[in-house]
Amino acid sequence: MALLFAPLDTRLHQRTTFRCGVPALDAYLQQQAGQHQRDGIATTHVLTDDSDPARILGYCSLAAAQLQLHDLQAADRRRLPAYPVPAVRLGRLAVATGVQGKGYGRLLLGHAMNCSVALRGQLSVRVLVVDALDERAAAFYRLHGFHETSDQAHTLYLPLGQA
């Protein structure tokens, strides 16, 4: 058994049976993720087990974004020009109900962070931003180093470091 990350392949990955306990996250994967990927809106990355590669254990979606400079905390604004900050948006992150509690959410977040850092070398993005669904999700992101924006407690960002 080896866990693998892959871009969503609508012909291979079984989206219709995915359930995470949050209907909106289930519906996104089942009904919109493929279209968003084809249209260049967001890329969905799935976590699978190589013994059953069609079964989605979890997923995250990434898209281009920006944050207003004033949304960053003061320490993160230093030496930045006075225009929007280029970002990667972690649009959604979900783990299937049958495998929750095994650290897969942390793996998916790490994958999103790695993708963002790799992109930074090619496109110069500064932060990974997420709009947490609720306080429980926001606490998960804070635990992993995300900072709250100045205006909204559930919009958080993670500085991606220096290039």
Instruction: With a cut of 70, say whether residue 163 has pLDDT above it.
Output: no
- Tokens 């969905």 -> residue: 44
Q: 1 falls in which pLDDT band (50, 70, 90)? A: confident
Q: Give the predicted TM-score (pTM) of the model.
A: 0.92
Which tens digit of pLDDT belongs to each residue from 107-138? 999 999 999 999 988 888 999 999 999 999 99
How confident is the model over 64-110, as pLDDT tens digits? 999 988 888 888 888 888 889 999 999 999 999 999 999 999 999 99
Look at residue 134 and give its three-state secondary structure.
Answer: coil
pLDDT score at 162: 60
**What pLDDT sits at residue 36?**
97
What is the CATH classification number for the domain harbouring 40?
3.40.630.30
Pure H helices in the chain = 23-27, 33-38, 74-77, 104-123, 135-143
pLDDT the model gives residue 3: 96
* Residues spanned by the domain of 83: 3-159
> CA 98 to CA 19: how far, in whole Å?
9
Look at the chain and report how many structural domains it folds into.
Answer: 1
Query: Is pLDDT at 146 greater than 90 in this prediction?
Result: yes
